[in-house]
A and B are shown apart, each in its own frame.
Chain A
Amino acid sequence: TQLLEQSPQFLSIQEGENLTVYCNSSSVFSSLQWYRQEPGEGPVLLVTVVTGGEVKKLKRLTFQFGDARKDSSLHITAAQPGDTGLYLCAGLITDKLIFGTGTRLQVFP
């Protein structure tokens, strides 16, 4: 059973465009993490959000945790080719990290 649905699944955009990736669930999470994975490598943590409504910024990336701690979003401003990769949200339930279905982003120069 997949608890975390991400949308869109695939996204191809031009350099300079803005985009938002969504991570939704019917379950409540203790915290939520976002990872980025590049081809041939393992996922790498970008950010952890813990409090409902929390917003964190990492340069051009803005992460938000939903008020009810069931959903999250990742917004990228002025995307660059270096942002290309697979973005994964992961929610912590009791002692397990449940990964989302993933959003594959391609940014063209």
Chain B
Amino acid sequence: DAGVIQSPRHEVTEMGQEVTLRCKPISGHDYLFWYRQTMMRGLELLIYFNNNVPIDDSGMPEDRFSAKMPNASFSTLKIQPSEPRDSAVYFCASSLWFSDSNQPQHFGDGTRLSIL
């Protein structure tokens, strides 16, 4: 079975540019999560969706970040305008019914973003 698919794997761009990260969750999963990982702050939850609806976006750092989930098989995380401090590895994860505490989150391989 295909896992969580993220694209691109690597993105290098200049500050001020718009960046769009993409995620295809595992088919049938109800929940989708966006995380950011840095050496300084570890793995941080940015936002998560349940059945395509954003539930909690309190982790989104500022208005330059936005996320959408137009359907059950696709989500985007957009940064506009991008800044060097946004450089990090961004992960997407999906899971089944998350209130069941035994359900794992399945992570993609991440997008390594570098803002110059």
A104 to B42, CA, bound (A): 12
Whether A74 is near chain B, meaning CB under 8 Å from some CB there, is no
Whether B110 is near chain A, meaning CB under 8 Å from some CB there, is yes
Contact A50 B43 (CB under 8 A): no
Contact A97 B105 (CB under 8 A): yes
Binding site for B on A (CB under 8 A): 2, 30-31, 33, 40-45, 48, 50, 88, 92, 95-102
Contact A92 B42 (CB under 8 A): no
Whether B101 is near chain A, meaning CB under 8 Å from some CB there, is yes
B62 to chain A, nearest CB (A): 18
Contact B108 A50 (CB under 8 A): no
Partner of A44, one of B43, B102, B107: B107
A48 and chain B: residue at smallest CB distance: B102
Contact B93 A42 (CB under 8 A): yes
A31 to B104, CA, bound (A): 11
- How many residues of B sit at the interface, in one of the four size bands? 20 to 34
Task: Name the residue among B43, B48, B55, B107 with the largest chain A CB count within 10 angstroms.
Answer: B43
Contact A33 B108 (CB under 8 A): no
A33 to B44, CA, bound (A): 16
A101 to chain B, nearest CB (A): 5
A72 to B43, CA, bound (A): 18
Contact A88 B56 (CB under 8 A): no
What 5 additional pairs, Cβ within 8 angstroms, besides A50-B101, A50-B102? A31-B101, A41-B109, A42-B4, A97-B45, A99-B35
Whether B99 is near chain A, meaning CB under 8 Å from some CB there, is yes
Contact B109 A48 (CB under 8 A): no
User: Chain A residues with Cβ under 8 A from B55's Cβ?
Assistant: 95
In the A-B complex, the 6 residue pairs with the smallest Cβ-Cβ separation, listed nearest first, are: A42-B107, A31-B101, A45-B104, A99-B43, A48-B102, A30-B101
A31 to B4, CA, bound (A): 24
Contact A102 B109 (CB under 8 A): no
Contact A102 B107 (CB under 8 A): no
User: Chain A residues with Cβ under 8 A from B35's Cβ?
Assistant: 99
A62 to B46, CA, bound (A): 31
